[in-house]
A and B are shown apart, each in its own frame.
Chain A
Amino acid sequence: MKKVFLVVLLMSFVVISFSTKLIIKGSNTIFPIAQLWIEELKKVKPDLEITLEGAGSSTGIAALFNGTTDIANASRFLKEKEIKKMNEENKYFAPIVIAYDGIAIIVNPKLKIDNISLETLKNIYTGKIRTWNQVNPNLPKKRIVIYSRNTASGTYETFEKKVLNKERMASTVKMVESTQFEIEQVSRNPYAIAYVGVGYVTNSVKVLTVENIHPTKLNILNAKYPISRPLYMFIDVTNGWPESGVIKEYITFGLSKKGQELAEKAGYIAAYGF
Chain B
Amino acid sequence: MREFKNRMNSILIKLTATIGIIALISIFIFIIKESIPALKEAGVGIFTTFDWYPTSEDAAYGILTMLFDSIILTVFTSLIVLPLGYIVAFFMYEYATPFEKRMIKSSIDLLSGVPSVIIGMFLIIYISPWMFEIGAWSPENMLLAAIGLTILSLPYSASLMQEALDSIDIELKESALALGSTKFTAGFKIVSRAAISGILNASILTINRIIGETMVVLMAAGGANMLPTSLLDPIRPLTAAIASEMGEVEIGSLHYSALFVSGLFLLSISFLLTLISKRISIKKF
Contact = CB atoms under 8 A, between A and B. Distances in A.
Interface of A: 28, 54-59, 62, 142-143, 145, 150-154, 156-157, 160, 166, 168-169, 171-177, 185, 188-189, 191
B52 interface: yes
A221 B244 CA distance: 31
Contacts of A191: 137
Contacts of A171: 65, 224-226
B157 to A, nearest CB: 29
25 contacts: A28-B248, A55-B249, A57-B250, A145-B137, A150-B223, A151-B52, A151-B53, A152-B54, A152-B244, A152-B250, A152-B255, A154-B248, A157-B55, A166-B57, A168-B51, A168-B56, A172-B234, A173-B224, A174-B223, A174-B234, A175-B223, A175-B225, A177-B243, A177-B245, A185-B139
Given A55-B251, A168-B56, 12 more contacts: A55-B249, A55-B250, A56-B251, A150-B248, A152-B244, A152-B245, A152-B246, A168-B51, A174-B224, A177-B218, A188-B129, A189-B139
Contacts of A154: 248
B138 interface: yes
Interface in B113-171: 129, 132, 137-140
Contacts of A189: 132, 139
A26 to B, nearest CB: 9
B85 interface: no
| Chain B interface SS verdict (over half) | loop
Contacts of A177: 218, 243-245, 247
Contacts of B137: 142-143, 145, 191
Interface of B: 51-57, 65, 129, 132, 137-140, 218, 222-226, 234, 236, 243-253, 255
Contacts of B65: 171
B223 A56 contact: no
Nearest to B138: A145
Contacts of A160: 55-56
Nearest to B51: A168
A157 B59 CA distance: 12
A185 B129 CA distance: 10
A157 B249 CA distance: 12
A188 B139 contact: yes
B224 A152 contact: no
A157 B56 CA distance: 8
Contacts of B54: 151-152
Nearest to A25: B251
Given A175-B225, A175-B236, A150 B57 contact: no
A151 B236 CA distance: 13
A174 B129 contact: no
B23 to A, nearest CB: 25
A145 B140 CA distance: 10
B224 A172 contact: yes
Contacts of A173: 224-225
Given A152-B247, A152-B255, A176 B223 contact: yes
Nearest to B50: A171
Nearest to B131: A189
Contact of B55 (A54, A156, A166): A156
A59 B256 CA distance: 11
A232 to B, nearest CB: 16
A177 B244 CA distance: 6
Nearest to B222: A174
Contacts of A28: 247-248
Contact of A150 (B139, B245, B252, B253): B245
Contact of B248 (A56, A143, A176): A56
A85 to B, nearest CB: 15
A142 B132 CA distance: 11
Nearest to A58: B250
